[in-house]
Amino acid sequence: MGAIDINGLNKSFGQTQVLQDVSLAINAGEFVAVLGPSGCGKTTLLRCLAGFEQIGSGTIHVGGRAMSGPRMHMAPEDRGIGVVFQNYALWPHMTVAQNVAYGLKIAGMSRRDRHARVTHALALVEMGALAERRPADLSGGQRQRVALARCLAMQAQVVLLDEPLANLDVHLRGALEDEFAAFHARTGATMFYITHDQSEAFALADRVAVMDRGRIIQFDRPEALFRQPRCETVAGFIGEGRVIEAEDIVPIGAGRARARVLGAEVELRCAPSETRRKTARISFHPDDLDILADPHRTTASGIGADITRATYRGGYLRTQMTAGPQNRVALTMNIAAHAGIEPGQHITVTLKDGWVIPEARQATG
Amino acid sequence: MKTFARNLPISSGYNLVGALSHIPAGRPFRAFRLWRLLTGERGLGGVLFVFVALLSIVPLARLSYAALVVQGSLDLDRIVDVLAGRRVIEATINTVWISVSATVLATVLGTGAALLVGLSDMRARTVWVFGFVLPLMIPPQVTALAWLQAFSPASPVLGPLGLSLPPGTRHPLYSAGGIVFLLGLYNAPLVFLSVRASIQRLPASLMEAARASGARPAQMLRDIVLPLIRGGILAGAALAFVSAIGNFGIQAMLGIPARVPTLITLIYRQLNSYGPSALNDMALLALVLAGLTVVGMSVTGWLGRRGDQRVDGAAHPPRLPLRGWRWPLGVLAWGYLAVCLVLPLSALLGTALVTGYGQVLSLDTITFDNFTNALFHHQGLRQAFITSLWLTVLSVVVLIPVAVALGYVLTWRRTWIARALRLASEMAYALPGIIIGVAMILFFLRPMPLIGTAAYGTVWVILAAYLSNFLALALRPILGAYGQIDRALDEAAQLTGATLFQRLRDIILPALAPAAMASAILVFMTAINEIQTSVLLVSSRAQTIGPMIIFLEEAGSSTLAAAVGCLMVGLVLLLMGISLIFAKHLPQGVLPWRD
């Protein structure tokens, strides 16, 4: 019902092309997050989907119906798509209940049915008691709940959310994340969630589309983005990923390969199609590094490093160090807080896990 | 002292503070303290207070006193007698219904135009906005004259169409309806500017949320946009009402020949009547007019505040595609400009190019005598123009620095003085100019305390009236610019030890320069053709160009009046054009004619 199919979408504002050949196939009922830095075009993508922007070329289908395409553009009001805005977009001259009821009123629903639907929607987001308030008298979190209730009442099959938590305090975000998840479970609607916060995207989404400079560079499950990034940009963007050079990559089957990293012999994960290569870029995360118990024992898998800085982060010590020839390579490692680590110390670390980034193919999409 | 100083070793010159500390406390120090006091903030506030008080509070108080008290006693019978007079009651009723109807007309036109410009993807918007706002910049007496000429045989539009009036028929605009029509057209840009500003503050997402909820553009307009810009509409209506009720040019040019008395024309005619209490009666009528203005402002202000929704958004509202409506609305919009600009102004030009009123403009009758007369031969006109020019320049030179200083106090100080200053300057601006004129007559009629002669009848009264009348106009763009300056800039300069004047000169003025420029342009354009106050204050010794059109028209030289009108419109267009050259450097929205 609410499957979204975007094909070869291009969009320019004047000379600058903000969306380049964007294609996404989203299943009905799926929760998809679009993740990217500000200015990457993700909000424009949402606005094209909602019908606020006309597209340059390509097609958008929702639930099998053509929404935008060559020389056609369905008006936003005809699309039946719900939108939750970053700044809530509650109409200040209407009460909470009137805000939620407005779309139903436009649709011509009778007053009694409307009242029942609004009461139910407000009860679900625990805003029933504040139905007669004005938006100006609500807190940010409450406003976003009302905006959510507005979508609930409309029973839209597709809901677009444009950075809905960006204006809220950290402690409110967790609560509203739960609210969005509950909304999704309750309605089964397709959710299209724009954010620049990866923890938000990972917590909520079935699949995440990573955007950069107007392109979708990878569209995958969160753990796949984290463990098998398709390119350096994704690898560096997701989970404080680190990308460095590795040599003599030799696949050994079962999705694993041997390689030499900073002089150490290590075993890494790789794509099944990986071939023997002289050099490759690999990615790993701070948790993939570990300190060797005996710093003086040198093994084939040990990497010598000098600690430059150690910061206490509660449960762990965040350790920054330099390694490799002329100590040129900066590394970051999270280790247990009680480990006796001090700046200036020389230690040996090992790389427990890593991913060989596949060779860039000509056609990415 | 002198010998002591001379005997000091040269080196001590480096230590001036130390040297001065030897001087016993005395006059120099007290003078220094007084200087500090005058140049400090309190001093500045005081000086500004005296300025505003002398130019608006005291004259207006004098007006109220003269209106109510004759020869030292409050004579209620006289007041009732004057107010219950048949002509006064008729004029009051006329004033109220004409102003209210004109306000309704202006509000409908202005709001429609603002919605079209602000929310649609209309083509050639910039040109259209310029054309729509232009009538506001043309002096009302010229507008009235131009519309009167529109039906004359010389009109290049209606004449060839055979629609011009045969000589001797009553002109349709010489009627109460004609006054309402012209006042409505004249003030529509005021509503337009106010509503457009509200639309620009409207967050796009509120409208998009409505579309996403299934609302069609028309439903969105009705349910979301109009309720949210209600404050702007009513603020514009208040401006239109104040402007309509105090518009002397149109009410006099149409109302006096049509025998439709209004308060403002009654006040004007009262000036020429005699009798022991003629001046007091005039003051009383002015007070009634002021009362009506305040009531009108209060009602619209109250309506606007009630349930007012403050919205602020940085994003510009979306432009809705007109699609099928593009042609009908385009024809309507451009047709409106054709009717409101081309029709009257071409007729004005046509009349200016023939030798006598009623002639048909053709190659045989065309003449430039009226223009050469107006420009070179008519002694009175030239004198009046020169007077207007230097009065205007002087007003700008005085008002802009005062407005900059006043803006500082009004923006960043929350004292009762600041509030009183603001109220007084707004009051002097909102009240019809003719009331300021009456107040100035009364205030300056008696010999001045220091000079010994009365200023009445000299240009200085006109200057005082201009300063009083246009202070708020000069203040408006400057206050807007102050709102954009981070106060920390001034405070940081204060911490380095800069005095108030140094800060105003070095920190504030550079940031404020574009807005000060804009307000100088606005004051110049308004004052150069000013009629509302000067019509009462001009005398044989002091003439300004604004009222000349009425005098010429009354004297029967319609063609010369038309030529002067054309020159005024030309001057306005020239100034607007020059301002557009600098528009890039001016803050957004200070030039009303720029989209």
- A209 and A282 together in one domain: no
- A221 and A238 together in one domain: no
| Structural domains of chain B sorted by starting position, each given as residue range(s) with its CATH number in brackets | 41-76+368-589 (1.10.3720.10), 96-262+293-358 (1.10.3720.10)
Which of A182, A200, A227 represents a domain boundary (last residue)?
A: A227
Cα B582 to Cα B477, B587, B593, distances in angstroms? 15, 10, 13
Higher-confidence residue: B114 or B31? B114
Cα B47 to Cα A213, B39, B407, B509, distances in angstroms? 59, 10, 14, 19
| Residue found under tokens 């100035």 | B440
- Per-residue pLDDT at B154 exceeds 70: no
**What is the pLDDT, as a whole number, of residue B92?**
94
Judged by a CB distance cut-off of 8 A, whether residue A12 touches chain B is: no
- A208 and A294 together in one domain: no
In a 10 Å sphere around its CB, with 0-12 CB exposed, 13-18 middle and 19+ buried, how is residue A133 labelled? middle
Interchain CB distance below 8 Å, A92 and B311: yes
Among A77, A85, A136, the residue with its CB nearest the CB of B216 is A77
Please, which pLDDT band fits residue B160 given cuts at 50, 70 and 90? low
* Residue A216 bridge partners (DSSP): A211
- A217 and A263 together in one domain: no
What is the ipTM, given to two decimal places?
Answer: 0.79
Residue type, B107: T
Higher-confidence residue: B319 or B370? B370
- Per-residue pLDDT at B533 exceeds 70: yes
- A107 and A152 together in one domain: yes
pLDDT tens digits for A292-313? 766 565 667 788 889 999 888 8
Angstrom distance (rounded) from CA A101 to CA A97: 6
- A187 and A269 together in one domain: no
- Per-residue pLDDT at B430 exceeds 70: yes
Q: Which segment of A149-163, B44-58, B303-317, B318-332 scores lowest on mean pLDDT?
A: B303-317
Angstrom distance (rounded) from CA A301 to CA B352: 100
Q: Which segment of A274-283, B155-164, B344-353 scores lowest on mean pLDDT?
A: B155-164
Angstrom distance (rounded) from CA B361 to CA B101: 36
Query: In terms of residue numbers, what domain contains A78?
Result: 4-227
Judged by a CB distance cut-off of 8 A, whether residue B226 touches chain A is: no
With the CA atoms of A45, A51, A54 and A60 taken in that order, what torsion angle do they form, in degrees rounded to the nearest 10?
Answer: 70
Mutate which of A47, A49, A52 to disrupt the B interface (most B C-beta within 10 Å)? A52
Q: Please state the rounded mean pLDDT for residues B390-400.
A: 94
**What is the pLDDT, as a whole number, of residue B16?**
38
pLDDT tens digits for B482-529? 887 888 888 888 887 788 888 888 888 888 888 888 888 888 988 888
Angstrom distance (rounded) from CA B570 to CA B545: 14
Using an 8 Å Cβ cutoff, are A216 and A41 in contact? no
Angstrom distance (rounded) from CA B237 to CA B194: 9
Please, which pLDDT band fits residue B399 given cuts at 50, 70 and 90? very high
Strand, coil or helix: B122:
coil
- A211 and A237 together in one domain: no
Eight-class DSSP state of A159:
E
Strand, coil or helix: B458:
coil
**What is the pLDDT, as a whole number, of residue B591?**
75
Residues of chain A with pLDDT under 70: 1, 293-299, 338-339, 361-365
- A16 and A95 together in one domain: yes
**Chain A contacts of B212, Cβ < 8 Å?**
50, 76-77, 79, 81-83
Residues whose CB is less than 8 angstroms from the CB of residue B296 and which lie 6 or more positions away in sequence, other chains included: B99, B100, B103, B238, B241, B242, B245
Which of A196, A227, A258 represents a domain boundary (last residue)?
A: A227
Residues whose CB is less than 8 angstroms from the CB of residue B86 and which lie 6 or more positions away in sequence, other chains included: none
In a 10 Å sphere around its CB, with 0-12 CB exposed, 13-18 middle and 19+ buried, how is residue B589 labelled? middle
Angstrom distance (rounded) from CA A246 to CA A65: 48
If you write DSSP's letter for every residue of A161-190 in order, what string do you get?
Answer: EESTTTTS-HHHHHHHHHHHHHHHHHH--E
Higher-confidence residue: B41 or B374? B374
Using an 8 Å Cβ cutoff, are B523 and B579 in contact? no
- Per-residue pLDDT at B321 exceeds 80: no
Which of A206, A227, A248 represents a domain boundary (last residue)?
A: A227
Q: Please state the rounded mean pLDDT for residues B1-11.
A: 37
Higher-confidence residue: A207 or B198? A207
Highest mean pLDDT among A265-269, B59-63, B95-99, B194-198: B95-99
Interchain CB distance below 8 Å, B228 and A82: no
Structural domain count of chain A: 2
User: Going by DSSP bridges, is the β-strand pair A207-212/A31-35 parallel, antiparallel, or unpaired?
Assistant: parallel
Judged by a CB distance cut-off of 8 A, whether residue B233 touches chain A is: no
Please, which pLDDT band fits residue B460 given cuts at 50, 70 and 90? confident
- Per-residue pLDDT at B427 exceeds 60: yes
Highest mean pLDDT among A152-161, B315-324, B573-582: A152-161
**A287–chain B nearest CA distance, Å:** 42
**Chain B contacts of A93, Cβ < 8 Å?**
227-228, 307, 309
Residue type, B211: R
Among A51, A92, A103, the residue with its CB nearest the CB of B213 is A103
Q: What CATH number is associated with residue A47?
A: 3.40.50.300
**What is the pLDDT, as a whole number, of residue A219?**
95
Interchain CB distance below 8 Å, B211 and A51: yes
Angstrom distance (rounded) from CA B472 to CA B406: 10
Judged by a CB distance cut-off of 8 A, whether residue B221 touches chain A is: no
pLDDT tens digits for B199-228? 888 888 889 999 999 999 889 999 999 998
- Per-residue pLDDT at B99 exceeds 90: yes
- Per-residue pLDDT at B108 exceeds 80: yes
- Per-residue pLDDT at B5 exceeds 60: no
Highest mean pLDDT among A355-359, B97-101, B125-129, B553-557: B97-101
Using an 8 Å Cβ cutoff, are B451 and B408 in contact? no
**Chain A contacts of B198, Cβ < 8 Å?**
none
**Chain B contacts of A103, Cβ < 8 Å?**
213-215
Angstrom distance (rounded) from CA B578 to CA B140: 22
Higher-confidence residue: B583 or B391? B391
Tokens found for residue B216: 């069609």
- A240 and A152 together in one domain: no
- Per-residue pLDDT at B392 exceeds 80: yes
Among A81, A87, A92, the residue with its CB nearest the CB of B212 is A81
Using an 8 Å Cβ cutoff, are B486 and B412 in contact? no
Residue type, A338: H
Please, which pLDDT band fits residue B310 given cuts at 50, 70 and 90? low
- A204 and A238 together in one domain: no
Judged by a CB distance cut-off of 8 A, whether residue B223 touches chain A is: yes
* Residue A82 bridge partners (DSSP): A159
Count CB pairs under 8 A between chains A and B: 71
What radius of gyration, in Å, describes the C-alpha atoms of chain B? 27
- A103 and A241 together in one domain: no
- A272 and A141 together in one domain: no
**What is the pLDDT, as a whole number, of residue B3?**
38
- Per-residue pLDDT at B9 exceeds 60: no
**What is the pLDDT, as a whole number, of residue B37?**
56
